[in-house]
Amino acid sequence: MCTLCPRHCVVEEGKRGYCEVRENRGGIYYSLVYGNPCAVHIDPIEKKPFFHILPSSSVFSLATAGCNFDCKFCQNWEISQARPEETFNYELPPEEVIKMAKEFHCSSIASTYVEPMIFYEYMYDIGRLAYKEDILNVCHSNGYINSKPLRALCKYLDAACIDLKAFSEKFYREVTEGSLSPVLETLKILREEGIHTEIVNLVIPTKNDNLKMMK
């Protein structure tokens, strides 16, 4: 069983979990995207969107294929709903990520665009090296991760922007194929661990625009 996210995928030998990037090999779930991002960009940090940390700075942004949600409104569906063999991928180990971030004068590195927890090991190792270079390690996440790996990641995580997609289990079930309660637990843990956290709520008319729910 994969213990990374609340889906707890159980698949046959040689098969992949829901995210399409973690494969069962001898009972161990291996990442198929470590060091192979399909999206690499230099962005303003406000695009993540972070508005209360390193304002007006540049962030080195990256993502791999795959996701543990299936949001019906995803703007990055070409990569989030793709398998790694369906995207053009770069060879970019953590050491090279740090090197490029420094070359482009980026104050931070962001795991973003898709759900970064699916490339957990890659993000963790980037954060570990970034810590030594005084570069912040940040992420834009749906918050769908189990508590144990999240707490371990917090050692090398400086900030998280969490998509709280709605305050409704029904919305999560029907629109994302996920669940609200693990996301709320993630927010609690980030607070406990002292991680700078910002919350994003994308309002979709008729779906999650109830003012009472939003408040």
pLDDT tens column, 190-213: 999 999 999 999 888 888 888 877
pLDDT at 163: 96
Domain count, the chain: 1
Query: Which two tokens mark 13?
Result: 């030998």
pLDDT at 206: 85
Residue 25 inside a domain? The answer is: no
Residue 192 inside a domain? The answer is: yes
Residue 27 inside a domain? The answer is: no
Domain carrying residue 162: 33-214
For residue 167, name the pLDDT band (cuts at 50, 70, 90). very high
Q: What is the CATH number of the domain that holds 101?
A: 3.20.20.70
Residue 22 inside a domain? The answer is: no
Residue 173 inside a domain? The answer is: yes
pLDDT greater than 80 at residue 91:
yes
Buried/exposed 73-94: b ≥16 CB within 10 Å, e otherwise: eeeeeebbbbebeebebeebeb
pLDDT greater than 80 at residue 134:
yes
Residues 155, 30: Cα–Cα separation, whole Å: 22
Residue 18 inside a domain? The answer is: no
Alpha carbon of residue 67 to chain centroid = 8
pLDDT at 137: 99
Residue 204 inside a domain? The answer is: yes
Q: Which of 108, 164, 160, 99 is nearest to 134 (CA)?
A: 108
Strands (DSSP E) found in 78-176: 108-111, 136-141, 159-163
pLDDT at 187: 98
Residue 49 inside a domain? The answer is: yes
pLDDT at 215: 66
pLDDT (tens digit per residue) in 30-45 = 999 999 999 999 999 9
